[in-house]
Amino acid sequence: MAVNRMDAGKGEGEKRPEPSPVSEAPKSAAKSDFKAWLPLIGAVVLLPVVAYGVTTFILLPKLQKGLGITPPASTSSAHGAPAASGHGGAAATPEPSPGGKLQVPLSKMIVNVSGTMGSRFLMVSLIMVSTKEDFPAIVKANEAQLKDTAGGILGTKTIPDLEKPGARNIVRSELITAFNHVLGGATVQEVYFTDFAIQ
């Protein structure tokens, strides 16, 4: 084997060890791998925080304002008594209407529109009208069943069903029939929609 003349002239003390490319390659590769993953790690950590902030402080207040829902912080009145909930309850005191009829609202019922795979929803608020004196007590006693019945009827409607001419009247008559089946007899005479929105 031939000896390099340049190396032959140098003594052992003069030889400089050359850096091994093999030993430095893993260090630089590890640094470059980390730098490549840094944006992904940042996105995975920051995106949920940003999404939570936007949802909590921007979207929910706008949605609550649009639906007329009071924020949870204002659930009690100035006298310490609980305020009426804006989340779909029956009114504590019925509103009398002309002719001796009593009105009891069912507010803010939200159901998925059928056939949209949960991407669209229907928000309905309604007022039930009756001439029975104990109508508010009857509604309060059966409120859960009335909401379930209304949700069942509204949840079967598709977008074409809801956009047909006279769709509200069809839904109104179905609700009156179903409510009277739940409450017995001809308890509910009329149903008025105060909100009927497809989102």
Q: Residue 173 above 80 pLDDT?
A: yes
Residues 6+ apart with CB under 8 A from 133: 102
- Residue 100's pLDDT band (boundaries 50, 70, 90)? confident
Whole-angstrom distance, CA of residue 142 vs CA of residue 22: 79
Which contacts (CB < 8 Å, 24+ apart) does range 175-180 have? Answer: 175/126, 175/149, 175/150, 178/149, 178/150, 178/152, 178/153, 179/128, 179/146, 179/149, 179/150
- Residue 92's pLDDT band (boundaries 50, 70, 90)? very low
Whole-angstrom distance, CA of residue 17 vs CA of residue 14: 10
Q: How many CB atoms lie within 10 A of CB 94?
A: 22
* 54 vs 111: which has the higher pLDDT: 111
- Residue 175's pLDDT band (boundaries 50, 70, 90)? very high
* 48 vs 5: which has the higher pLDDT: 48
Whole-angstrom distance, CA of residue 71 vs CA of residue 30: 50
Q: What is the pLDDT of residues 8-56, one digit of tens each?
A: 555 555 556 565 555 555 566 667 777 888 888 888 888 888 888 888 8
* % the chain with pLDDT above 70: 68
Length of the chain: 199
The predicted model scores a pTM of 0.51
pLDDT of the residue at 90? 47
Q: Residue 82 above 50 pLDDT?
A: no
CB 128 within 8 A of CB 179: yes
Tell me how far CA of residue 125 lies from CA of 150, 175, 180, in angstroms: 11, 12, 18
Report the pLDDT averaged over residues 140-146.
91
* 79 vs 199: which has the higher pLDDT: 199
